[in-house]
């Protein structure tokens, strides 16, 4: 089980939101590259970046911060990015600059043909982000709820050739209320590509719960507010997950 620190970017700073509300942001660092180095130093094996402004604007808005992070750690561990990526040229530019994976969310739902083209043009480097509330997928920085069922879209996008799925329970994100294990397992069982859990991770008990269902196809978990507030010690969490793996 891979614990993946999230670096959410808003106006050039590293922040955390509650339930995706841009008006409810807590700034944890004004130097995202230094924050990236901090997590790598603690043993992070992958980083998850989100351009929050980009998610709402429909195009990248924090490119300077993203480039700084890639210069700092991109040659050492894989870095994945989501938020506002809507065209192949943007994907190519980020990959050329050292990004390992691009996560397509809103554009995948609104324009499936774009996701299909991206998977064909950049095989093995395109992930899809499915953000949901009560099983229904949301778009546009979580501001719009669609009628699409998570599992239905996941199966469709798996057929396109996505590398993995990042599944976020919007209602739990940033709330330290625990991962939605049931919904994450339901999704993982429906597809054969890896699933990354997101939204609500709060403590070591959550990691134990996820490790207990890792065999269902859940490869990792995005770590957000809990590792910034200290509710979860990141290194202790990864060590605990590794101990589970060694014991199986």
Active-site residue, selected from the candidate residues 51, 131, 169, 173: 131
Active site residue 51: no
Q: How many CB atoms lie within 10 A of CB 244?
A: 15
How far is residue 193 from each of residues 83, 94, 172, 246, measured CA to CA in Å?
21, 23, 24, 23
N-terminal to C-terminal alpha carbon distance within the chain: 12
User: Is 96 an annotated catalytic residue?
Assistant: no
Contact (Cβ atoms closer than 8 angstroms) between residue 188 and residue 151 = no
In this structure, are residues 139 and 110 in contact, taking their beta carbons and an 8 Å threshold? Answer: yes
Strand-pair category, 2-10 with 218-223: parallel
Give the closest residue to 129 by CA, choosing from 103, 107, 162: 103
- The Cα angle at residue 207 between residues 179 and 230, in degrees rounded to 5: 85
Active-site positions?
Answer: 8, 131
């Amino acid at each position: 089980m891979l614990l993946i620190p999230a670096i959410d970017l808003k106006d050039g700073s590293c922040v955390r939101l509650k339930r995706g509300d841009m008006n409810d942001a807590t700034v944890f660092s004004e130097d995202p590259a230094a924050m990236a180095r901090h997590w790598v130093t603690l043993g992070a094996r992958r980083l998850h970046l989100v351009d929050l402004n980009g998610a709402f604007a429909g195009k990248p808005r924090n490119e300077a911060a993203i480039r700084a992070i890639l210069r700092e750690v991109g040659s050492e561990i894989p870095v994945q990015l989501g938020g506002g990526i809507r065209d192949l040229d943007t994907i190519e530019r980020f990959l050329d600059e050292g990004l390992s994976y691009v996560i397509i969310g809103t554009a995948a739902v609104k324009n499936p043909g774009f996701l299909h083209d991206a998977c064909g043009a950049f095989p093995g480097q395109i992930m899809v982000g499915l953000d949901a509330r009560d099983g229904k997928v949301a778009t546009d920085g979580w501001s719009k709820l669609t009628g699409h069922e998570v599992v239905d879209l996941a199966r469709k996008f798996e057929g396109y050739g996505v590398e993995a799925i990042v599944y976020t329970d919007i209602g739990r994100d940033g709330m330290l209320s625990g991962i939605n294990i049931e919904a994450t397992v339901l999704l993982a069982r429906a597809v054969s590509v890896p699933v990354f859990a997101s939204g609500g991770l709060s403590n070591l008990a959550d990691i134990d719960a996820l490790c207990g269902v890792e065999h269902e196809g859940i490869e990792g978990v995005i770590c957000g507010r809990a590792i910034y507030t200290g509710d979860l010690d990141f290194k202790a969490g990864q060590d605990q997950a590794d101990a589970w793996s060694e014991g199986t």
